[in-house]
Amino acid sequence: MKKWTFVFLLSLIALATLVLPVAAKTTRTEFSGVSNGGPVMDAREWTTGDGVLHARDGWIAGFTEVSDDRYTGEELVTVNYNLYPAPAPVYIYGPMWGKLRLTNDYGYWEGTWVGERTASDGFLYLRAVVHGHGDYEGLQARVDYVRLSPDPEEPYQVHGVIIEPGGK
């Protein structure tokens, strides 16, 4: 029994020496900035009997400018939502989701996002996870878009991190 415990512990130590150096080389670069977009275009919208506004496959074109040039560029965002009626100044609230593609001269980022417009104040909180292509191949970004206003014309505050896996 002691022999197998010793072999098991030795195996764990050996595995840790293989895995930990790679994890230690992972680089995380934080960034922040703003994102502006237009209205939702071409969505299939309908309202159910209980007043919920549904939309599928809409899109928004916009531009994001942040402190890391790798995540600065033109955005094309697909939009889906189920929005419930609310009194002014909120008007509508509920869950949202879709896909996001941010493009610049060196490549593009592509992935999905989820979020919500809150019932209490009409603020928007969105979280995207995107993967890099072109010069950004192998990178991942996790990005929060926050609009602390019920006004859909206000810009989003953007905060995120680009994750660069460690070398071999």
pLDDT for the residue 15: 54
> Is pLDDT at 49 greater than 60 in this prediction?
yes
Number of domains forming the structure of the chain: 1
**What residues have CB less than 8 Å from 53, skipping those under 6 apart?**
45, 46, 47, 81, 82, 83, 84, 85, 92
pTM of the model: 0.84
The alpha carbon of 150 is separated from its chain's Cα centroid by a whole number of angstroms, namely 20
Overall average pLDDT of the 36-64 stretch: 96
> Is pLDDT at 13 greater than 70 in this prediction?
no
**In whole angstroms, what is the distance from residue 92 CA to residue 107 CA?**
36
What is the percent of the chain with per-residue pLDDT over 90, rounded to a whole number?
A: 82
Average pLDDT over the chain reads 90
Domain-located, residue 136 = yes
The alpha carbon of 153 is separated from its chain's Cα centroid by a whole number of angstroms, namely 20
Decide: residue 24, CB within 10 A, 0-12 exposed, 13-18 middle, 19+ buried: exposed
Give the CA count within 13 Å in the CB-facing half-sphere of 95.
4
Residue-wise pLDDT for 69-82, tens only, equals 999 999 999 999 99
Q: Which CATH number is 157's domain given?
A: 2.40.350.10
Overall average pLDDT of the 1-11 stretch: 57
Domain containing residue 66: 26-164
Domain-located, residue 34 = yes
Residue among 95, 28, 109 at smallest CA distance from 64: 109
Domain-located, residue 108 = yes
> Is pLDDT at 24 greater than 70 in this prediction?
no
Domain-located, residue 10 = no
pLDDT for the residue 141: 98
Overall average pLDDT of the 97-111 stretch: 98
Overall average pLDDT of the 86-99 stretch: 96
pLDDT for the residue 167: 63
pLDDT for the residue 166: 83
Domain-located, residue 13 = no
